[in-house]
Structure 1
């Protein structure tokens, strides 16, 4: 297998394009199939429609299925539109059940039903059952292609069967031990199976204590279980422990990416608009509501300045440090917000006393940062007004109070939102920033008004 790097990728891609143009099938197959599937997918997406049609003819359905699975949904739809109907059905039957389910769930129901009606009835019924599970649950993620064994089977008999069944299974690293009613009795790893005596019975090898999830278990919880227990796959069972399928670690990687993207979207109040494929109109539609809310809240900043107009008129130099006070409050609050959002994403805030410990840590951190920045701001302010030290005191104390309070609000607000099961976008970075702008300026002008008599 050839692994491409930046240096040889351009040359390798050039020759693949050339082979397609010159219709050199054997040369194309030789070089293309030597590539890692990830490189195959990336290069395939560079081909024009005309060249893709040639690739369809040069590769078998089995060879192309690995590429299809790794393509973005938008590209998968293009491929299906370019394929003839017979090839589409053959391709869908070649894919694992969870991959077919993922694709069919992304296309209109009438088109999905059209393909299901023409597939093998057993496969179609299996996929329909997977499609019936609610999105973002273990049931919607699981595949039904895995290796099972009976308690009475021997290690040798299972190894012999693996040589035949392994190619159709999603993973062979775990063998799930069941009884006649498909009740899960234990789990056996491939390593243990290979090292075992050939004649030993499975019931003497399997682990009877195992981790499993229900089909209704949230996908994020499934990801946490696989990560926490270092599993390659986790079985999905009914309440009576009848095995329905498995969720593999590659599916979990997709979940982690999806959940991370959602966290970033929530943090920046851009839910549903970070995907580059989203149209400008839809992106604007999704972002505008928050911008309008933030704009209305931003009026509070103007109101604060208006209330202290007389103070600002008597000491115009205060205007120089308005951006500094506002920006430092927003930046500090966003830092604390990121810490809390990460803790929420990892589920650690649900643990006893974790939030109290986190709040204490952030408060002390705020005091340390506020003291340091306040002292620095004091000396910077003296450079602008050398007539006395009071202006430096105003700026230093204001920045100290702003940073401390912003750190605490950036910690408390997202936690409160989380506790009330409200959309986490409510505690997004822009929201925290706007609130802290208002608080910071209020502190700044209040302190300036109190000390005005000394200036």
Structure 2
């Protein structure tokens, strides 16, 4: 209910802002717009048409527009289009006013030549900082870190540290933590804002700081950085180079985006479709979903061909056809379950992950237990229903074996892909389910062929 009320209030705010802008009440418009949170300002900007957005760029300074763009998703195609609607000089100035990591993220999604145009128009110092960030991989600590931060020297007094924070806070992405470096820029400590505020004014930073600092290197994967911040409950973590010199920090707001991206990637893998794509254009949605479905269609045709291969068996024992969907469906569900667990295990940090051998043994035993218990259950149910416990045994044995195979496939395929360096989420739920259909039918009819004389 509160969410609905907030959305309604926001819509009313946006409507009033449109009216003020359309009636050229510029001063009132700017005052009310800038009173909104930066995120809401950004959402209002997105809601306008091209003409309205161009008008806003004439009313707001690059700094005001940069604050707004800091909240926009950098990977959105719309964000890139917004830049092209601006004068190049204005866009470059706006990017230089943004936090360096956010500006770098936006430019990384542009064509290299276009990015260079904006960088060449920026102040050289800002452009060099952004170029250094763009040098790192997108999904690494270096790719998501910011260089907009405040560092202190160990012989600085607390009074001078507070003065520096007041002077430079507006340029830093966060001041929750202040990292301490020596005169060679080597990271030697960290001090929180709270510790600074409660420390004596004449105390030195080195007397208050914590010397043991948890840090990361720029080349490590962003998911590992997220794990570090989660494990230690940090709001930020410093990034150091091979010589332990401070080069940046990763803040918790970037980690929230990483967690969101990782979750979307896992969901996309399980569904076999990009869940982040919410396009309402039927043709666009169709073209993005169709290739994977066509691939699964061909795999499904193999299953249909296999069933056709056993048509003689089905003609002699038509009762077998009744249980095809039961066995394939249950095995597919088991495979999808094990896939979800496997992807989750692989998302854990190296310290929390069991060894590969332990995972394989665990899945072998789990698959056997699930298969046996499910097989016994269906054997009893079919035996009572059809008054034929031999038939029930055929169905139960087939289901137990099919579930075990599907469980192993759902667990080991993503594990193997991860060891080979591929994204395990590619082993999607639909793929595992379709693959288990094929193996289940093969297992079912072969067991039935061997025992057919017993239940007919």
TM-score by length of 2: 0.87
Using the alignment, how far apart are the partners of 2:397 and 2:266 within structure 1? 34
The alignment partner of 2:217 has SS state of coil
**Residues 359 and 408, structure 1, Cα contact 8 Å, conserved in 2:** no
Report how far residue 327 of structure 1 moved: 1.4
Using the alignment, how far apart are the partners of 2:366 and 2:29 within structure 1? 63
Structure-2 residue corresponding to 1:243: 246
Report how far residue 336 of structure 1 moved: 0.4
Structure-2 residue corresponding to 1:408: 408
**Residues 381 and 395, structure 1, Cα contact 8 Å, conserved in 2:** no
Structure-2 residue corresponding to 1:379: 381
Using the alignment, how far apart are the partners of 2:284 and 2:226 within structure 1? 30
Spell out the pairing of 1:45-194 with structure 2 (5 A cutoff): 45-72=46-73, 73-194=76-197
* More moved, 248-257 vs 3-12: 3-12
Structure-2 residue corresponding to 1:340: 342
The alignment partner of 1:301 has SS state of helix
Using the alignment, how far apart are the partners of 2:59 and 2:324 within structure 1? 66
**Residues 137 and 215, structure 1, Cα contact 8 Å, conserved in 2:** yes
**Residues 239 and 246, structure 2, Cα contact 8 Å, conserved in 1:** yes
Residues 166/238 of structure 1: CA separation in 2 closer, same or farther (3 Å cut): same
The alignment partner of 1:188 has SS state of strand
Provide, for residues 140-198 of structure 1, a one-character-per-residue CA deviation record: whole Å limited to 9, x for no partner.
22222111111111111110121111000111111111122212111111111111011
Using the alignment, how far apart are the partners of 1:313 and 1:273 within structure 2? 43
Residues 93/21 of structure 1: CA separation in 2 closer, same or farther (3 Å cut): same
Report how far residue 329 of structure 1 moved: 0.9
Provide, for residues 249-294 of structure 1, a one-character-per-residue CA deviation record: whole Å limited to 9, x for no partner.
1122222222333333333444x78534699889778767655654
Q: Give the unaligned 5+ runs of structure 1.
A: none
Structure-1 residue corresponding to 2:12: 11
1:258 aligned to which of 256, 261, 272: 261
**Residues 367 and 408, structure 2, Cα contact 8 Å, conserved in 1:** no
Using the alignment, how far apart are the partners of 1:40 and 1:381 within structure 2? 67
Residues 118/153 of structure 1: CA separation in 2 closer, same or farther (3 Å cut): same
The alignment partner of 1:5 has SS state of helix
Residues 53/450 of structure 1: CA separation in 2 closer, same or farther (3 Å cut): same
Report how far residue 122 of structure 1 moved: 1.6
The alignment partner of 2:70 has SS state of helix
Using the alignment, how far apart are the partners of 2:351 and 2:375 within structure 1? 29
Structure-2 residue corresponding to 1:314: 316
The alignment partner of 1:207 has SS state of coil
**Residues 363 and 411, structure 2, Cα contact 8 Å, conserved in 1:** no
Using the alignment, how far apart are the partners of 1:134 and 1:357 within structure 2? 30
**Residues 141 and 221, structure 2, Cα contact 8 Å, conserved in 1:** yes
Report how far residue 332 of structure 1 moved: 0.8
**Count of residues in Structure 1 that have an aligned counterpart in Structure 2:** 451
Using the alignment, how far apart are the partners of 2:283 and 2:376 within structure 1? 44
**Residues 273 and 283, structure 1, Cα contact 8 Å, conserved in 2:** no
Report how far residue 437 of structure 1 moved: 1.3
Using the alignment, how far apart are the partners of 2:149 and 2:22 within structure 1? 41
**Residues 374 and 399, structure 2, Cα contact 8 Å, conserved in 1:** no
Report how far residue 91 of structure 1 moved: 1.0
Structure-1 residue corresponding to 2:233: 230
Report how far residue 296 of structure 1 moved: 4.5
Report how far residue 96 of structure 1 moved: 1.5
**Residues 139 and 236, structure 1, Cα contact 8 Å, conserved in 2:** yes
Provide, for residues 101-127 of structure 1, a one-character-per-residue CA deviation record: whole Å limited to 9, x for no partner.
111111122222122222212222222
**Residues 273 and 287, structure 1, Cα contact 8 Å, conserved in 2:** no
**Residues 363 and 407, structure 1, Cα contact 8 Å, conserved in 2:** no
Provide, for residues 213-270 of structure 1, a one-character-per-residue CA deviation record: whole Å limited to 9, x for no partner.
2222222222222222222122122222111111211122222222333333333444
Using the alignment, how far apart are the partners of 1:56 and 1:33 within structure 2? 14
Residues 348/280 of structure 1: CA separation in 2 closer, same or farther (3 Å cut): farther
* More moved, 301-310 vs 144-153: 301-310
